């Protein structure tokens, strides 16, 4: 999975960003296109920052992270066979949890969403998972 995501990250280049932005700004009033282009570029790079981190070998998940994710996926699958469950993985590691803004809103979560879609494991920061659990059990 991480290899696939690293390949996707390699597609986020200056030229692909520029092409995506040019499509968006075509309907922008001409005098504002430069400003809109800068704004869209920052937004796109921010939105993909969890994914593009994988291009840097030092920021890629190590084998221990792979093992932790595999265990969580296995346990989730095992318990889901008995009854419907929601599997949580609380982590402060950006290999799992989304990148958050100062107000705790999600800035980038490509990797986190891929984990949830492939393995049905909900990854997030410990305090956010604790909040989810309080909603479920209160």
Distance of CA 21 to the CA centre of its chain: 21
Q: Which helix (H) or strand (E) holds 108?
A: strand 106-108
Q: Examine the pLDDT at 100 and tell me if it is beyond 90.
A: yes
Question: What does the alpha-carbon distance between residue 42 and residue 36 come to, in Å, rounded to a whole number?
Answer: 10
Q: Examine the pLDDT at 9 and tell me if it is beyond 90.
A: no
Domain ranges in the chain are 2-137
pLDDT tens digits for range 42-61: 888 888 999 999 988 988 88
Confidence of residue 113 (pLDDT cuts 50, 70, 90): very high
Q: What is the pLDDT of residue 83?
A: 93
Q: Examine the pLDDT at 92 and tell me if it is beyond 90.
A: yes
Residues in the chain, overall count: 138
């Amino acid at each position: 999975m991480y290899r696939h995501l690293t390949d996707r990250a390699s597609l986020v280049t200056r030229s692909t960003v520029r092409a995506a932005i040019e499509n968006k700004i075509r309907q922008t009033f001409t005098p504002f296109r430069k400003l809109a282009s800068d704004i869209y570029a920052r937004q796109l790079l921010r939105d993909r920052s969890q994914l593009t981190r994988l291009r840097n070998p030092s920021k890629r998940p190590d084998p221990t992270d792979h093992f932790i994710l595999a265990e969580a996926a296995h346990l989730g699958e095992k318990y889901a066979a008995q009854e419907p469950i929601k599997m949580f993985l609380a982590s402060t590691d950006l290999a799992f949890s989304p990148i958050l803004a100062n107000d705790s809103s999600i800035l980038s979560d490509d990797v986190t969403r891929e984990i949830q879609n492939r393995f049905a494991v909900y990854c997030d920061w410990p305090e956010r998972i604790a909040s989810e659990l309080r909603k479920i059990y209160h």
